[in-house]
Each structure stands twice: as structure tokens, then as C-alpha cells.
Amino acid sequence: MVTTIKKGTSREKILVALKKRPVIIKSPDLKKYCGSISLNEDPLELQKKLRNEWE
């Protein structure tokens, strides 16, 4: 949906036009990633090892 606001339109008309538009909020489905990786070592030890690569 496109809302066109022309120069000189009053603030009230702009607010009314914005309230008319539909609000669609799509959140990603994070459940599909649950259990998608399998680790052979402890996640905390892996994280420490990756952080120490900078040194």
C-alpha cells in the first residue's frame, strides 16, 4: 500500500492517513533452527577457543 502525502497537507490528515494503513509485523520462525546443529564438544569450551583465536 502506498500513501501519498503532498506538500502542505495538515498534520491531522497525515496522522489519519497513517492510522488507516495496515500494520503487518512478520517475525521470523526461529523454531526451524532449534536443534539444527550438533556439537562434538562443550559449547562453552568452543566459545572460549574461538575467542582466544584473536590473541
Q: SS3 sequence, the chain?
A: CCCCCCCCCCHHHHHHHHHHCCCCCCCCCHHHHCCCCCCCCCHHHHHHHHHHHHC
Q: What is the C-alpha to C-alpha distance for residues 18 and 3, in angstroms, rounded to an integer?
A: 8
Residue with the three cell numbers 498534520: 11
In this predicted structure, what is the pLDDT of residue 10? 94
pTM over 0.95: no
40 closest CA partner among 31, 49, 32:
49
Going residue by residue through the chain, which has 55 residues, state the pLDDT in tens, using 9 for 90 and above.
788 889 999 999 999 988 888 888 888 888 888 888 888 889 899 899 999 887 6
In this predicted structure, what is the pLDDT of residue 55? 64
In this predicted structure, what is the pLDDT of residue 51? 92
